[in-house]
Chains A and B, each alone.
Chain A
Amino acid sequence: NIFHGKWIRLEDAGYAVGARVLELLCHRDKGNRRETRLLGILSFVHSTVWKVLFGKVADSLEKGTEHEDEYMISEKDLLVNKYISIPKDMGTFNCGAFVAGIVRGVLDGAGFPAVVTAHFVPMEGLQRPRTTILIKFAEEVGTTRLLL
């Protein structure tokens, strides 16, 4: 897939933003307190980070049903996808990869490494598919939770 390269670059650009957003918000909004719980950091991304980036909290935060340590943040009208029509020959490319990178940057910097990807999910009654940011936490995150 010749566009795989573009996806990687877009995602990496997002990662750089995420790392910095985490530093900024920890200092500004959380009084330099560090989040140590999984649900805490997810809620932080879903509300605080989203509010700063997009002016609103994310539409939904859900736990994945198929696998452990999979979570999904969904947005009906993600800002980076709002005005962009993907050409037919680009297949499954999703500009939400930028936001996926931001989330990965935040989670990585906070000590919760994860693989984060963006997907279009068609919804009943919605003209456009909604964008879902899929977060799959690395194994060490799971073991840390057990130890706590």
Chain B
Amino acid sequence: MAAIYSLYIINKSGGLIFYKDYGSKGRMDTNDSLRVASLWHSMHAISQQLSPTNGCSGIELLEADTFDLHCFQSLTGTKYFVVCETGTQHMEALLKVIYELYTDYVLKNPFYEMEMPIRCELFDINLTQAIQKDRVALLGR
């Protein structure tokens, strides 16, 4: 059964603003998650320079032996990436859904300070629902 291990959201400067893990695989303590976030931010930036094609917008998919990493970067430079089991389908669509939840429940919240860690109850609630729906859909296939 395909599964999501963790979700990261990093701001345009590479700082971690949201981290959630689902299950013990890929669980990280606070410091490690911060390091992974800035590591990914740098790798993503470097990949744009290394790319042999013009107009590359950075790494979208990283496939390793034990996990896959799907990354979506919005036009404003915020990056949303999931670490999941190898071969998990429809992660791009899930990232887009999470992006929409971010615009609804984080950006429309006047109490949220831009680029700061996300502490919005509604975002958490709706994110959990979206991931659950995704799990159910995957199980149904």
Contacts and interface: CB of A to CB of B under 8 A. Distances in A.
Contacts of B111: 84-87, 90
Interface in B56-86: none
Residue of A85, A87, A95 with most chain B CB atoms under a 10 A cut-off: A85
Interface in B101-125: 104-105, 108-111, 119-123, 125
A90 B104 CA distance: 21
B121 A85 contact: yes
Residue of B105, B120, B122 with most chain A CB atoms under a 10 A cut-off: B122
Contacts of A84: 108-111, 122
Chain B interface category by residue count: 10 to 19
B29 to A, nearest CB: 24
Contacts of B109: 83-85
A65 interface: no
A127 interface: yes
Chain A interface category by residue count: under 10
Contacts of A87: 111, 119
Interface string B7-50: 00000000000000000000000000000000000000000000
Nearest to A95: B110
B125 A83 contact: no
Nearest to B119: A87
A85 B113 CA distance: 13
A83 B119 contact: no
A84 B119 CA distance: 11
B123 A85 contact: yes
A87 B125 CA distance: 15
A78 to B, nearest CB: 13
Contacts of A90: 111
A62 B139 CA distance: 44
B9 to A, nearest CB: 16
B120 to A, nearest CB: 4
A118 to B, nearest CB: 16
A127 B111 CA distance: 21
A83 B109 CA distance: 6
Nearest to B122: A85
Residue of A84, A87, A90, A95 with most chain B CB atoms under a 10 A cut-off: A84
Interface in B85-141: 104-105, 108-111, 119-123, 125
Interface of B: 104-105, 108-111, 119-123, 125
5 contacts: A84-B108, A84-B110, A84-B111, A85-B105, A85-B123
Interface of A: 83-87, 90, 95, 127
